[in-house]
Each structure stands twice: as C-alpha cells, then as structure tokens.
Structure 1
C-alpha cells in the first residue's frame, strides 16, 4: 500500500473513532478540552506537572471539567471549595478510588490506598480502629516519635555539620514509626536490609510519577510488551512482599492472642475469629 493510501486509511480510522466517541459520549458531562482518539488529552498536558495544565484549563472550563487520559475519562476538580464539596461534604459519593493499572499490577487490588468495595471498607475500618488502639494520636505514639527523633538527631550530629541531603534521613525516621506500629519494632539506620526496602519503595514512587509510569497507566497492555523500568520495579517490589510475608510468619509463630503486640498480631487474631 502506498503512502497516500495509508494516510487516507489512517484518516478514516481516526474520523471513525471520533464519530464513535461523539455518539457514545454521555450528554451531561462537564465541559472540557477536545480529546484525540486513543491518546486523549495527554499530548497537551505538562507531563512533569499535570496540575499546572488542569489549573490552566479550569480558567476556560471551570472548576469541574472532563478530561481524557488516553481512553480513560476522568473528572477533574480544581480549587479548595470544589474539592471540599466533593471529598468532604459528599464523601460517601466520592469514597471510591479509580483503578491505577500499575498499582493494580503490584497490589492485585489489595491494600488500603488504591482499593474499593466492601472488603476495602472493612479493612479500612479495622485499620483505623487498630491503629488508634495502638497509639495513633495518643501518648504511646508520642513516645515512639520522641525516641525516633533522638535517633534522627544523633544521625544529624554524625555529619559533623557538613552539608547533607535530609530527605533519606527523614524517610528512615518516618518509616521506623510505621514499622513500630505494624511490626512492633524499629530498625537501625545502618540496617542494609531496611535501607534496601526504603530504596525499593522510593523507586516505585518515583516510577509512578515519571513519564513512563504515566504512560503505563494509560496503555498498560502495550507498555508491558516492551522492556523497561516497569519490569524492574515489579521484581523489586516482590522483595518487599517477601519481607512482609516473613514478618507475618514470625508473628504467627510467636502469637499470643491475649497480648497483641502490633498491627500484624491484631490482624492475625481477627482472621482467627
């Protein structure tokens, strides 16, 4: 097939896709920028700072608008009052979370962050109750924070007043407080296994906000066909899962139902009820 015929065929396919989208588009959607077939509005967005694009569009289409990330239609809310009205005043109607393909690939639909349905509601309710019982917002947690602060200050002193990037130091401290709640223990800042896990989690978050990560969330099946960082991240996250499974097994072997030590103990006790 020659080039003109190919271009003509491509043009007809695009026109057909536009027609089908227009015919199948609900009539009561909020206004928004015109989207292209397959790619949606991605080509006109700032990939590094999508929120800047949304702010710009809101001046034309208002604080509630429709946009397309690839073929995925999304509702965009801009501004404090608009977000508050949706997520606070009408929280029950907006409690669900849209599926994020890369997160789905890693977590398989489980977890508290990106999940939905009755299972998620029960897990969230259990988690909030358990974390509160184990010190969330109470004196017990304040003690953990004070202890971790001392370790953090000692680490700062070890720098001998030389310039340093505090980012990773702070992530160690915050992670240790979470570990105290979940695993019942903290880890040394020099623990190589602990540092490796933090590095993996940091890499996963960085990938999620990268251009490739955003592309994966739009075309997951297509991107999966090619080699890239996404395959590496998935394999590395398996290390975190293996570590967590090991901790759960340790808790099973030393569990005392009458004296729960942490979140894992409470979860195991609840499973056995």
Structure 2
C-alpha cells in the first residue's frame, strides 16, 4: 500500500476518534457552558494552542522574539541583583523581600514549598514590573490628557494654589481638601483603563452565572475595563470627564466601580503607594509648571493603544513652562 495512503487513513482514523470523544463529552453534559474563544477563519483556534508547542514558535518569525529577549534581559537583571544579595545576606538583619525569601527557602527545603529559586526570580520580576511600568505609564498618560484639556489643568492649578500655595510641596494631607484634583486623578485612571484584565482567579466550585454553568477550577479573568467604562455608573464612559467623580456641590464622589487596581484577594498590593505617587507627582508638576503641547491641543490623540497587557499613550511631545 502507498505510504501516503496509509498516513491518510491513519489521520482520518485519529480525527474520527477525536470527533467521537468530543461528541460523547458534550452529550454527557446537560448544562450550558460559557462560549469559548471566537475562532478565526481557516486556522480556527490554532493560535490559542501556541503555548503547547513553544519549540515550534521559536521557528516562526515575529515580534514575540523581541518580547522574549526583553524578558530574558529583565530576568538577567533580577538574577544579578539576587546574586549581589547572596554575597551580603545576613539572616539576622534582612533588608528586603529577597532576603526574606532567602530565609523562607532555608526554612522550607522540601518538594512542596513555593519558596524556590525560580519563584524568587518570578516574584522579584513581578514586583519590579508592576511597581515601575504601571505607575510611570499612568503618569505619562495623565500629562497627555492634561495637555489635551487645558481648562482642566487650569482648575487643578487654581485648587493647588489655594490649598497648597507656592512655597511648600504638596503632601497627602492636602488631598482631602482638593476634591477636583482628586477627581481628575481618578478619572485619568478610569479613562485609560491601564490594565483591562485583572489577574487570574479560579472558581472554587461549580457556579451558575446567569444562564451558564462555570465548572470548578475554571480560570476567571475579570474585565476591569468593562466596569471602569460602565455607562450606568459613568454617563459618558468613553469621554474624559472629571465630573464622573464629583457631586453636584463639587465634593469628591466615591464609586464602587473604580477598580483600576482590581478587586478581591488579588487586589494590587501597591495600590496605596501608587495612589500616593500619582497624586504627589501630578500636583507637584502643576504647582511648578504649565504643560503645553507643540501642536493644537484639539489635535492630540488620547485614544489608548494596546501594548502587551495594557493600554499605553501614543508617543507625544511636551513642553513644561515654569509658572
């Protein structure tokens, strides 16, 4: 028999078996499951399977190679920092999370511990990336928006001059007396929805949600952007409007829909620090400078562009004029 014919018959047999098992599995479940990923023409859901064949992906040219190179560079930077900590490690006087991780590694030297070297690298990388990129991107995005809306910038400067003045630096105690500035800071984070998806959660038991059954163990990603852009809470969700966080009397309005730092047990651990940094940076900058674009403010494009896991501002030029 022709080898090609044999291979064809074998392939058809495998496909028939796969079809049989899939059909049997579907028929054994009576509940309605949530829809899966939407298939693309011709290739279907093949792209969702790339993680199963990493060696195959190495042969395919594309931007993912640059991403892998950047990740490797960050890991090497982290590894150098860990090795430096090893040389100065004193268990009686731990200095930071790396030193505390070393202590836990020595305490739990067994196969079931999560305090391993690979997890140490991953943890430090996560903290470094989450603690630098997110805040700096939000700051950059905020400066772009303030240039787009000079009237918002002027109102913030009036409030800063009235509450803080020009002779001292802003502090966190000022925030309670600055409802408009606080509202602008919240609206910037709501509008840009920097991280559209939250960290993964897992369903602890079979759960019925609306007309669907979500099986136990299913990984769940909360769509934060859908909450931040909910039209029932924010009348103009696609528009930048500080009044989304202001009452009619001008006081600050809290919203349970404000969750750029996610929610639940996996809430961002650095939320408090990030809020403090954003408020102090923006108020300090506007206390001392007026931000001007090099083009007509009306032509500035503040539409987010997706990059990696988040929304980032498009490149722009800024002129900071001393006040």
TM-score computed with the length of structure 1 as normaliser:
0.31
Q: By percentage of residues, which structure has more helix?
A: 1
TM-score computed with the length of structure 2 as normaliser:
0.28
* Structure with bigger RCO (C-alpha 8 Å, 6+ apart): 2
Q: Which has the larger radius of gyration?
A: 2
